[in-house]
Amino acid sequence: MKMKKSHMDLVNDARTRIKTISVDEAKEMYGRDDVVFVDLRDVRELDREGMIVGAVHAPRGMLEFWVDPESPYHREVFASGKTFVFYCASGWRSSLATDSMRNMGLEPVCHIDEGFTGWQEAGGAVGERPKKKKPEEKK
């Protein structure tokens, strides 16, 4: 069955409305106190490939719930008023996520065109996914 719109139709449509930055631009923003990098990839990708050091992990499937202050799943980092730089492996999921965040009213937002793959290839800081603390370690 042919879809009315392909996944790339959706990605390309989103890209007409969002701010896309290059890896070089992302590297210039990296480390600023007013910027939060957000990794949208699946935990299996993070475990296998690592992630941008200092990035927040927000699984793509939970992002809208974590951003909305009225959601029971809200995460305070998204109420910080900072600039959010979203990324995934290649820029497809982050295009859709950035458009969704823009529609929800989270500003300023952008995404890395070349994604995590481009970041790695450009020698950006990559580290292991931080391990979750066990309940007894949170005290």
Among 79, 103, 99, smallest CA distance to 91 is for 99
**DSSP code for 130:** P
Report yes or no on 134 lying in a domain: no
Report yes or no on 47 lying in a domain: yes
pLDDT at 55: 97
Residues of the chain scoring pLDDT < 70: 133-139
pLDDT at 134: 59
pLDDT at 31: 96
> What is the C-alpha separation between 24 and 36, in angstroms, rounded?
16
**DSSP code for 24:** H
Handedness of CA 60, 64, 70, 71 (dihedral sign): negative
pLDDT at 117: 97
pLDDT at 136: 57
pLDDT at 86: 98
Q: Which amino acid is at 69?
A: P
Report yes or no on 3 lying in a domain: no
**Residue owning tokens 């295009």:** 95
56 and 36 in contact (C-beta within 8 Å)? Answer: yes
Report yes or no on 38 lying in a domain: yes
Report yes or no on 4 lying in a domain: no
Report yes or no on 122 lying in a domain: yes
Report yes or no on 33 lying in a domain: yes
pLDDT at 11: 96
pLDDT at 110: 98
How do residues 96-111 score in pLDDT, each as one tens digit?
Answer: 999 999 999 999 999 9
Statement: the pTM of the whole predicted model exceeds 0.75: yes
Report yes or no on 93 lying in a domain: yes
pLDDT at 130: 84
CATH number (domain holding residue 32): 3.40.250.10
Q: Which domain range does residue 91 map to?
A: 19-127
15 and 90 in contact (C-beta within 8 Å)? Answer: no
Total number of domains in the chain: 1
